[in-house]
Amino acid sequence: MKRRRFLLIILGSVSFSIVTQAKPKNQKVDLPAVFKNAQYVYVEAYAGDALNPHLVPDDREAIYNVEQHLKDWHRYTIVYERDRADLVFLVRKGRIASVTPGVVVDIGGGQPRDRNSPPPDPTRTNNSSVGLGVDAEAGSPDDVLAIYLVNPSGRLDGPIWLHGEKGGLDEPTLPLFQRIKHEVETAYP
C-alpha cells in the first residue's frame, strides 16, 4: 500500500510538472515594439558585409538568402548602409573552424613604431610590403541569426533576438528566418 501511494505521488508530481511546462500552441510571442515600428533593415555576417573579401563564401550566400527572403516578405525595406537601418540581421553559417587565405598589403612599412620615432620616409621604396596571410575562425556548428539595433553612434546594440540551429540558414526555407517572421507576424499582425 505504501509503495502504491509513493508511486502515485511520484506519477502525480511528474505529470503536474509536464503540464505546467507545456506551452499553449497559441502563446503570444513577446517581441520588442521595434519589430513593429522598424522600416529599414541591413543584413551582414558577423565577419562583415557581403563585400568583405575575407568573408567565408557560406556567410556571403547566407546574407544573400536572408535578403531575398526579406524582399519576399515585404515587411521591411533593405538598405545597404548599416547606419540607415532600424534593425541589423547578422548571420553566420555553422562551422567548427574555417581558414581563409588572402593577400596582405601593407603600405606603411609593416613595422611597429615607437611614438617617438620618426615616421617612415615616403620617398623610400621599401615602405610597403605584400605577403600572404590567413584569417582563421572557430565557432559553433549551428547556423545563427541574430537581430540587433543600431545606436546613434553606428554601433550595434543587442542582440534583441538570437537563435541558432543546425541548417537554420539552409535554402529553400531558411528555418531561422521563418521563425523570426512567424514571431513578428504573431506579435504584430
Domain residues for the domain of 46 are 31-104+130-187
Distance of CA 70 to the CA centre of its chain: 15
In a domain, 69, yes or no: yes
Low-confidence ranges of the chain (pLDDT < 70): 1-29, 97-138
Output the nine-digit C-alpha cell for 98. Answer: 574555417
pLDDT value, residue 129: 52
Residue (of 29, 32, 30, 41) closest to 156 by Cα position: 41
Residue 156 belongs to a domain: yes
pLDDT of res. 123: 35
What's the number of domains the chain is made of? Answer: 1
Residue 72 covered by a domain: yes
**Confidence (pLDDT) at 95:** 86
Within a domain: 159: yes
Give a yes or no: residue 117 inside a domain: no
Question: What is each CA distance from 135 to 43, 54, 99, 139, 141, in whole angstroms?
Answer: 22, 7, 6, 14, 18
Identify whether 172 is part of a domain. Answer: yes
C-alpha cell at 171: 535554402
CA pair distance 72, 66, nearest whole angstrom: 10
The answer to whether residue 10 sits within a structural domain is no
Q: What is the reported pLDDT for 30? A: 82
In a domain, 23, yes or no: no
